[in-house]
Amino acid sequence: MGKSEETRLLIIKKAASIFNQYGYKGTSMAQLTKAINMTKGAIYGNFNNKNEIALAAFEYNVAKISETVSEIVRPKKHACDRIIAYANFYLDHFGEISKTGGCPVLNAAIDSDNVHQLLKNKVVEVIENWINSISQIIYNGIQRMQIHPHSKPEQFASVFVSLIEGGMMLSNITSNTIYLARNVDHIIYLVNTDLRL
């Protein structure tokens, strides 16, 4: 990695937590220059504008979570166990995620709506990929005869994402993980009663 790529990555890493905590609208260039410890000119020497920094920061935050989820889910052999591990990740790591400002997908979805179209488009892409990821686990489970063939992968996946995001939002705003825990319990119940053969 060259010096300019290192500098760009440093800016993204430091900006990622600021944008996730304060949102796109709530993050000022003054906050970024202070957190990154660079002048506005030095930052803009690596990015064209604040929108570009916000987009890169969002992608970085999502990639960090995705990598950790993959490490936890990948070793599971049974499709149902993969989905349960996926759900439990958010409950097990809620404290960590909360300390860095909460779920980056939820935060960016709320913050970008009708304000930052590129960020909104990226959030939609991430949500669609998330739903596709869960759906694919279910399709694979059907092929391996681990999941009922009558299961509706896309429907289950959208409910999964809604329960996780809703639970994260309620738990974050109330500082009480009971809401996320209940939603994860419900996902596990659905996996064991509706999906598992």
The whole-angstrom distance between residue 58's C-alpha and the CA centroid of its chain comes to: 9
Across 8-32, average pLDDT: 95
Residues 33 and 14: their CA atoms lie apart, in Å, by 10
Residues linked to residue 196 through DSSP beta bridges, in sequence order: 147
Asked if the model's pLDDT at residue 50 lies above 80, the reply is yes
State percent of the chain over pLDDT 70: 100
Most distant CA pair in the chain: distance in Å? Answer: 59
Which residue ranges make up each domain of the chain?
60-195
pLDDT band for 116, please (50, 70, 90 cuts): confident
Each residue's pLDDT tens digit, 125-155: 999 999 999 999 999 999 999 999 999 999 9
Across 5-26, average pLDDT: 95
Each residue's pLDDT tens digit, 151-177: 999 999 999 999 999 999 999 999 999
Each residue's pLDDT tens digit, 81-114: 999 999 999 999 999 999 999 999 999 998 887 7
Kindly report the CATH class assigned to 60-195.
mainly alpha
Burial pattern 132-157, b for ≥16 Cβ within 10 A else e, equals ebbbebbbebbeeebbeeebebeebb
20 contacts 57 by C-beta, under 8 angstroms: yes
